Amino acid sequence: MIRSTAAGLALGSAALALAGLAQAQTAAAPAPAVRGPESVADWYNAGTAFIERSKAQKDDARRARNVILFVGDGMGISTITAARILEGQLQGKPGEENRLSFDNFPYTALSKTYSWDQQTSDSAPTMTAISTGYKTREGMLSVNHTTSRGECNATVVEAKKVKSILELAAENGKATGIVTTARITHATPGALYAHTAVRDWEADSNLSATDINTGAPCRGAPGAVKDIARQLIELSPAVRSSLKVALGGGRTYFMPAKQGGADVFDPEYPTQKGRRLDGRNLTEEWIATRGGTQAAYVWNKAQFDAVDPAKTHHLLGLFEPSHVQYEADRSTDPAGEPSLTEMTDKALRMLMKDPKGFFLHVEGGRIDHAHHAGNARRALIETIEFSNAIRRTVEVLQAAGQLDDTLIVVTADHSHTFTIAGYPSRGNNILGLVQEVPNRDGGALAPTLDSHKLPFTTLAYANGPGARPGARPNLSSVDTTQLEYLQEALVPLASETHGGEDVAIYARGPKAYLVRGSMEQNWIFHVMREAYGF
């Protein structure tokens, strides 16, 4: 008994000594160089909260009064991830834990973006698929895939056209609207109201002189297909009455090149001329064909701000000769122009007046353009503003008591060759050089080096204007976060290309539960149609 007690005392002393040693070692251990803000319990608690929210989510089988289709042009999944991180970092957080507004939508799916004849598609057939339910050919807007390339005959195009969700909404008495940061005649918005074999026929001056199939006269000839800007003005009676608001860029596509023998110049940029050869001023025709005093045309921020949604029935806003300014550059615009969020807000307030409900399309068009330029910072800022517009939409609908009656779908038409790579540490500047977690706690962060001992950025492109001739540049003293920096690219191209992988779909509201799994892109149309009950 005495021996056992002595042994126990000895073991107890040893345990205390080991505990003391461990405590001393823990106290002396250096802090990790990279640390997230979460506690150990936070991870488990957040997962539990997600399960509880998911269990509380009920599939809404009601019909939708309203449908809003948000398209982030070129907003691939890597773009969403990088924009999410940048937004969080601009708020002083690590960034990875941040969520864009639509990240909180309860239903998600993947969309397969190939077209009838393209593995990696352009915006014309992809938006045609989303808006009409039919996959078509490269460069074509809302005509079926049996249409010949370059088809110029209006009768043939009429026979080949497929109706868009906007046209169906109009025929069913809904108000409709289009908002974009691209030209209003560009492929994505154009697919909703125009039918043409060539997406580039935005003004009559863009049409081919002759039909490439028959050799017959095309541009300006009787029986030739109308240009896209003209189609926006000369809509069917139902669509013309329903289209309450159209906001974006592309002003010169609606302006004559000459009038009365004199050149016609843009009101904001006096060296830029109108593009129309037919002498028509389509902005004036918008007002004349839509009730005169009840219609408005605006081209700058002051005019836009002065529009009262309660008193205006038809609003056309064209804020640039071509695409509107990037969000990062908008404050320098000579005449001023509204943000995507501001345009979306005004469009909503005009459309919500209709007792039968509405259809609204909102495009973040310049995400795509910044990626084509190899300029990640502008692309991500555009994506953040796109998210802001969606957040504002939810707030406005909630305040008006219409959120629960509205199906909101957020998706992209296609992706880009944009990558997030390396092994950057948590909170590493998403626009900066890759810095990995040090091998031991307390170690200093330093740029990761490639096989030639050169640092590299987290963000890059597979192709595009960021390709440098010869050996890779040494980026050690380069500010890769500045607005004009072009991320490195592997294959040199004047314009970076689209990517062909699946893109995401996010949805909330009536029938949103139909967005699920792996979807063909054209099925999105059928979700919207089913939500309306058409």
CA 290/CA 138 separation, integer angstroms? 34
Q: Residue for token digits 């809904």?
A: 174
CB distance 405 to 64 below 8 Å:
yes
Cβ atoms within 10 Å of 324's Cβ, excluding its own: 29
CB distance 137 to 131 below 8 Å:
no
- 88: Cα within 13 Å, side-chain hemisphere: 22
CA 160/CA 156 separation, integer angstroms? 6
* 3-class SS string, 299-319: CCHHHHHHCCCCCCCEEEEEC
DSSP states of 60-119: --SPPSEEEEEEETT--HHHHHHHHHHHHHHTTS-STT---GGGG-SEEEEEE---SS-S
Query: How far is Cα of residue 307 from the mean position of the Cα atoms in its chain?
Result: 26
Q: How is residue 25 written in tokens?
A: 């070692």
Q: How is residue 400 written in tokens?
A: 């008006």
Q: How is residue 349 written in tokens?
A: 């307030």
CB distance 327 to 339 below 8 Å:
yes
DSSP type of residue 458: S
Q: Which residues does 176 contact at the CB level (< 8 Å), separation at least 6? A: 166, 169, 170, 239, 242, 243, 244, 351, 358, 359, 360
Q: Which residues does 247 contact at the CB level (< 8 Å), separation at least 6? A: 178, 179, 180, 184, 315, 316, 317, 319, 338, 343, 346, 347
The single residue of 101, 111, 115, 123 carrying the catalytic annotation is 123
CA 370/CA 354 separation, integer angstroms? 36
Positive or negative torsion for Cα 188, 190, 193, 195? negative
Q: Is 123 a catalytic residue?
A: yes
Active site residues: 123
